[in-house]
Amino acid sequence: MLRRLLLPATTLVALALPGAASAADWAPVADATIRPGSETRTDGSGQCTSNFVFENGGDVLLGQAAHCAGTGEATETDGCDAASLPLGTKVAVEGAEHRGEIVYSSWVEMQRRDEPDADTCAGNDFALIRLDPRDAPKVNPSVPFWGGPTALGADDADAGEAVYSYGNSSLRLGLQTLKPKVGLHLGRDLGGWSHQVATLTPGVPGDSGSAVLSADGRALGTLSTLSLAPVPGTNGVGDLAREVGYARTTTGFAGLELATGTEPFRAPDPERTARELAARLQQDVGSVLDGSLVGKVLGVVG
């Protein structure tokens, strides 16, 4: 199942589909099997896309949206009220041999604190999966295709600036050319807790939680909602700096840090982008010719 994107107040829909290392220890990109953009499947919920890699007290963590562990409807977007699976819930991570577990959820934490601020309740949509230590050597924190992140947060991101993302919804049938996305920052919402973005292609169910980078490669946020109005097909992106800041005030997470990419941020290079898209297109054509795409289609519709 795919975890849905959230639909606050009937205008947004959630994008999930129902259903100990240090920086010097990161796996080389060519060898890494776990990266930002890895597919996640939460027990008792559904499929989402991971965003960034984090470190905390020797643990290697993978970020996803808190609503990826939600058990309610797509319209239940208030994290202070929405039903959620508990901490300790197991998560299957693409590329990992062992299941991880949810060790932090903004939804669970806000309900524990009885969070009073409505904007925080609506916009704080962030969770952390602790990877099994045996899988830590398989991790690289670089965002596929784009590289980076270069740092946490992009408070000065302005409307009209470029944004970059990488989605991995199973609805895309594994087509490589549909995973990297480029778009525009449209502005802020929810008192700064959310950024509105428009990308080609837009985030769809299963892309929930995926990374969004600013024009200069900083970790801007995590994909949370799909807007149906006033601009259909745009996405709400949780402000990662605020989400991480909130997590750091939770017992045991004061030392939470974003892992920056080992690969440089390269989005502004049009020639490289064209070359890599051409290589991905060749992969996709191959999947059509060898019949593997047909199998994926049948798996989705079946």
Task: Give me the chain's average pLDDT, please.
Answer: 85
* Residue 200 domain flag: no
- How many domains, in total, are found in the chain? 2
* Residue 81 domain flag: yes
* Residue 125 domain flag: yes
User: 296 is in which domain, residue-wise?
Assistant: 270-301
Top-ranked range on mean pLDDT: pick from 138-152, 187-201, 220-234, 262-276: 138-152
32-90 pLDDT, tens per residue?
999 999 999 999 998 999 999 999 999 999 999 999 999 988 888 899 999 999 999 99
* Residue 79 domain flag: yes
What CATH number is attached to the domain comprising 42?
A: 2.40.10.10
Last residue of a domain, one of 84, 108, 138: 138
How far, in Å, CA of 63 to CA of 79, rounded? 17
108-166 pLDDT, tens per residue?
999 999 999 999 999 999 999 999 999 999 999 999 999 999 999 977 888 899 999 99
* Residue 41 domain flag: yes
